[in-house]
Amino acid sequence: MKQNDFPADMDISQSIYQYRDTVTQLWHNLSSERDGEYDWDLCDIFADICERIFYLMVLRPHGILNLSKARQYDAKPRNIPEFIVVPATESVDILIGENKDSSVVWTVARYSEDMELAFVDLFDFELYRPTRTFDYVMAQVVRANDQELCNRYALLPIDSARVFLKR
């Protein structure tokens, strides 16, 4: 899908960016006191807080009261079908995830207009670092001409992604 396929009044990208700024600062504040060992409890609590902040900053202002976003610790995070992710420019490389040996391997792919990507969450490869910045939008491929891509996760750099509310 092209960015032009959506009216401007449905663009919720600014809400997503504000959410990112909020949770990034919160993570930096909470993780600055870590002693170097990974704190699973902190990460789980942070994921729960992020779910509530997302509801308050993104879902509720747009009248979506009966949904919640997936938590960062969910093994198979669900998408929000009403939120469509589209590259901000015509030619964007995305990362497509594939499960291999109990982990996800990300490979570079070219976004094509036949794809429909549904928002899942923000993503950062630096799970164990206090400097996480959530530089990617994680989406799920819900439609594509290449059926092998369907239901796989995709990552788009946040600075080249737009999120639209599909009504």
Q: What does the pLDDT look like over 127-140, one tens digit per residue?
A: 767 788 999 999 99
pLDDT beyond 90 at 91: no
CA distances to 72, 82, 133, 137, 138 from 7, in Å: 30, 14, 29, 21, 22
Structure tokens at 60: 């509720």
**Distance of alpha carbon 156 from alpha carbon 166, whole angstroms:** 19
Section 98-117 average pLDDT: 89
What is this structure's pTM? 0.89
> What's the average model confidence in pLDDT over 72-98?
89
Percent of the chain past pLDDT 90, that is, above it, reads: 60
Looking at residue 144, what is its pLDDT?
Answer: 95
pLDDT digits (tens, 9 = 90+) for 140-164: 999 999 999 999 999 999 999 999 9
Which pLDDT does position 1 carry in this prediction? 56
Reported as a pLDDT band with limits 50, 70 and 90, residue 8 is very low
Work out the angle at residue 63's Cα, subtended by the Cα atoms of residues 87 and 46, and round it to the nearest 5 degrees.
70
**The predicted structure's pLDDT at residue 72:** 81
Structural domain count of the chain: 1
Using DSSP's 3-state secondary structure scheme, residue 130 falls into: coil
Domain that holds residue 56: 3-165
Any idea which residue has 């002693």 for tokens? 35
